Amino acid sequence: MSQPTPVVDEANAEQFRAWNGDDAQDWVSNADRYEAASARYDPWLLDAAAIGATDRVLDVGCGAGVSTRAAARLAVDGHATGLDLSAPLLAEARRRTAAAGLRNVDFFQGDAQVHPFEPAGRDVAISRFGVMFFADPVAAFTNIASALRPGGRLAAVVWQEFARNEWLRLLVETLATGRDLPRPAPGAPGPFGLADPDAVRRILTAAGFSDVDLADVREPVLLGSGPDDAYAYVSSLGPVRALVRGLAEDARAGVLAELRVRLSERAGPDGVLLGAAAWVVTAVSGR
């Protein structure tokens, strides 16, 4: 079945390219590991969303759909829709959802900032690390709010600042090898796009949400079941490959060996776990 051409804001075109290019293939191949890495945040997200049996749920930036399926299992007499920019991840989401035998789920490719949602057609919007990438967050959350009925709920989990996320700090610091690498910019579209709590309150209030709350949740990220598994995962990631790409052969071998050592040092009985911090953001649509 052919999909309609997704509506994407010009300002999000770079994200569209990124999530439909080589890195998307990484996400598809590593989908189980991505799911497991931040799985300790899932109960917090679902608890905050308080999805009821008849709820109609929208999952923004659903990726391979782990949270969409979790929502569908709760909305047994309702429905869950996953929306994402990435065609490869949506194909994987559909495959996994069919394999799970879930029927109250569908997926759409589109840009949450401009996707023409059915007005007030949803009771809850959720996101598992999928709402930090918008070029214009106020426009995007205004559009998401338009999909919610008055009094509908938003629940999203987003990363706190880089400094509080040891899992990424360890990777960047190990791979920098003395290079002064730019830190991910707080507030810019990317993993730390909603790291500043005051900015989140401003954005959501401007977008028409009320009762905005951010809960400080600290759960570790799982990089692998053991040192070899963690190294295989981490060294295959697009951003990691990009960080080592510019290095000469010897230097590259050196930093990858150092990465293996650093990951081994963090292995424990529950796998390779590194410190992380997220906000669980909740808000209500309409003032």
Region of 50 on the Ramachandran plot (φ > 0 left; ψ -120 to 50 alpha; else beta):
left
Is residue 220 a contact point for ligand SAM (CB under 6 A)? no
Is residue 84 a contact point for ligand SAM (CB under 6 A)? yes
Is residue 128 a contact point for ligand SAM (CB under 6 A)? yes
Segment lying near ligand SAM (by CB under 6 A), choices 48-56, 106-114, 222-230, 262-270:
106-114
Nearer to ligand SAM, 64 or 72 (CB): 64
Instruction: Tell me how far apart the alpha carbons of residues 121 and 81 are, in angstroms, rounded to a whole number.
Output: 11
Is residue 111 a contact point for ligand SAM (CB under 6 A)? yes
Is residue 221 a contact point for ligand SAM (CB under 6 A)? no
Order of all β-strands in the sheet with 221-224: 221-224, 271-274, 267-268
Nearer to ligand SAM, 86 or 174 (CB): 86
CB-CB contact of 177 with 255 (8 Å): yes
Nearer to ligand SAM, 27 or 209 (CB): 27
Nearest to 159 by CA among 182, 184, 123: 184
Binders in 187-216 for ligand SAM, by CB under 6 A: none
Q: How far is CA 287 from the centre of its chain?
A: 27
Task: Give me the least distance between CB of 178 and ligand SAM, in Å please.
Answer: 29
Classify each residue of 136-152 as buried b or exposed e, where b means 16 or more C-beta atoms within 10 Å of its C-beta.
Answer: bbbbbbbbbbbbbeeeb
| Residues that contact ligand SAM, how many (by CB under 6 A) | 23
Inter-CA distances, 14 with 18, 131, 191, Å: 6, 15, 15
Segment lying near ligand SAM (by CB under 6 A), choices 126-134, 238-246, 249-257, 273-281:
126-134
CB-CB contact of 86 with 238 (8 Å): no
Binders in 56-75 for ligand SAM, by CB under 6 A: 61-64, 66-67
* Given 34, 117, 141, 209, the residue binding ligand SAM (CB under 6 A): 34
Segment lying near ligand SAM (by CB under 6 A), choices 127-135, 143-151, 167-175, 245-253:
127-135
Segment lying near ligand SAM (by CB under 6 A), choices 77-85, 95-103, 201-209, 235-243:
77-85
Instruction: Tell me how far apart the alpha carbons of residues 19 and 7 are, in angstroms, rounded to a whole number.
Output: 15
* Given 33, 122, 126, 129, the residue binding ligand SAM (CB under 6 A): 129
* Given 134, 167, 209, 233, the residue binding ligand SAM (CB under 6 A): 134
Nearest to 199 by CA among 184, 186, 208, 190: 186
Nearest-5° Cα angle at 241, 63 to 42: 30
Segment lying near ligand SAM (by CB under 6 A), choices 111-119, 175-183, 253-261, 278-286:
111-119
Inter-CA distances, 276 with 56, 93, 221, 252, Å: 31, 26, 6, 27
Name the site residues for ligand SAM (rule: CB under 6 A). Answer: 12, 15, 19, 34, 61-64, 66-67, 83-86, 89, 111-113, 128-130, 133-134
